[in-house]
Amino acid sequence: MTVDRRSIITNLFDINALKFGTFQLKSGELSKYYLDLRLIVSYPKILKQVCTLVSTTILKDDTNSKNQVRLCGVPYTALPIATLVSIDTNLPMLIRRKEQKTYGTKKLIDGEYSCGDDVIVIEDVITSGASILETVVDLERSNLNVSNVIVLVDRQQGGMQRLSERGLKINSLFNITEIVTILKEEGKLSDAVYQSVLDYVINNQIQPAKGCEKPLRTKLEFKERAELLETSKIAQKIFKISLEKKSNLCVAVDVDTADKLLDIAEKVAPHICILKTHIDAISGVTDATINDLQLLAKQYNFLIMEDRKMADIGNTVKLQYKKLVNWADLVTVHSVSGGMMLKGIQEVINENTDSLDSRGVFIVAELSCNGNLISEQYIKETVKIAEEYKDIVAGLVCQSPDVISSPSLLQLTPGVNIKNANDNLGQQYQSPSDIILTKGADIAVVGRGIYQDDNPAEAAKLYKESLWNTYLERISNS
307 is catalytic: yes
Q: Is the peptide bond before 76 cis (omega within 30 degrees of 0)?
A: yes
Query: How many C-alpha atoms does 299 have within 13 Å on its Cβ side?
Result: 12
Distance CA 235, CA 229 (A): 11
Helix (H) or strand (E) holding 98: none
**If residue 153 lies in a helix (H) or strand (E), which one and from where to where?**
strand 145-154
Residue 86 annotated in ligand binding? no
Q: Is 254 annotated as a binding residue?
A: yes
Whether 298 has a binding-site annotation, put simply, is no
Q: Residue 427, annotated ligand binder?
A: yes
CA distance 252 to 231: 25
Q: Are 413 and 401 in contact (CB under 8 A)?
A: no
Residues 6 or more apart whose CB falls under 8 angstroms from that of 389 comprise 339, 342, 343, 346
Active-site residue, selected from the candidate residues 118, 263, 292, 312: 312
36 assigned to active site: no
Neighbours of 313 (CB within 10 A): 12
Annotated ligand binding at 205? The verdict is no
For residue 221, with 0-12 CB atoms within 10 Å meaning exposed, 13-18 middle and 19 or more buried, which class applies? middle
DSSP 359-398: -EEEEE----BTT----HHHHHHHHHHHHHTTTTEEEEE-
Sign of the C-alpha dihedral, residues 126, 404, 278, 470? positive
Question: Which is the catalytic residue, given 48, 184, 309, 343?
Answer: 309
* Residue in 124, 154, 307, 402 annotated catalytic: 307
Determine the Cα–Cα distance for residues 131 and 116; give it in Å rounded to an integer. Answer: 22
Nearest to 57 by CA among 175, 176, 171, 135: 171
Phi, psi (deg, nearest 5) at residue 275: -110, 120
Would residue 312 show up in a list of annotated catalytic residues for this protein? yes
Question: What's the Cα-to-Cα distance from 428 to each of 19, 396, 416, rounded to whole Å?
Answer: 46, 19, 8
The reply to whether 167 sits in an annotated binding site is: no
Instruction: Kindly compute the dihedral angle of the four CA atoms of residues 312, 315, 317, 319, in this order, to the nearest 10 degrees.
Output: -140
Distance CA(4)–CA(186), nearest Å, equals 14
β-strands 18-24, 360-364 pairing:
unpaired
Question: Would you name the residues annotated as active-site residues?
Answer: 307, 309, 312
Residues annotated in the binding site for substrate, as ranges?
254, 276, 368, 427, 447-448
